[in-house]
């Protein structure tokens, strides 16, 4: 069974940092490009960051460029998102996803 399990979300003050993790199982993680997609409360889906299977191609939404860093560890079937200089507008559920497979999401709340 395919599983993507996110962790690391929580409440953080503006300007703070969080590191999200995603543990993958049930498929050949190392052959899939991966994404972080977020959904603000009551809003639509926004692609935050993309990483190719070998990490050779990385892309960020303009809204997070320079503040977020995506990475992966294929040996450990894991995807990460380092989030720095967090803002209130970063408050959202963050999903770890390939195109076909999605995790349940982890909530990040940026508030003082």
Residues lying near other proteins in the complex (CB under 8 A) are found at: 35, 44-47, 50, 57, 59-62, 95, 97, 99-100, 102-105
Q: Tokens 């559920």 identify what position?
A: 93
| Smallest separation, CB 56 to other proteins (Å) | 13
Of 27 and 102, nearer to other proteins (C-beta) is 102
| Smallest separation, CB 48 to other proteins (Å) | 8
| Smallest separation, CB 39 to other proteins (Å) | 8
Of 45 and 88, nearer to other proteins (C-beta) is 45
The contacts of residue 99 (CB under 8 Å, 6+ apart) are: 35
CA-closest candidate to residue 33, choices 64, 61, 62, 59: 59
Q: Tell me the sheet residues that pair with 48.
A: none
Q: Are 30 and 43 in contact (CB under 8 A)?
A: no
């Amino acid at each position: 069974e395919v599983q993507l399990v996110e962790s690391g979300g929580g409440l953080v003050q503006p300007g703070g940092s969080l590191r999200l993790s995603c543990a993958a199982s049930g498929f050949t993680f190392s052959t899939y490009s991966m994404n972080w997609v977020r959904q603000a409360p009551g809003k639509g889906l926004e692609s935050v960051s993309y990483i190719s299977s070998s990490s050779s191609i990385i892309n960020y939404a303009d809204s997070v460029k320079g503040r977020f860093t995506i990475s992966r560890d294929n040996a450990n079937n894991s995807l990460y998102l380092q989030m720095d200089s967090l803002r209130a507008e970063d408050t959202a559920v963050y999903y770890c996803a390939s195109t076909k497979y999605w995790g349940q999401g982890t909530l990040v709340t940026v508030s003082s």
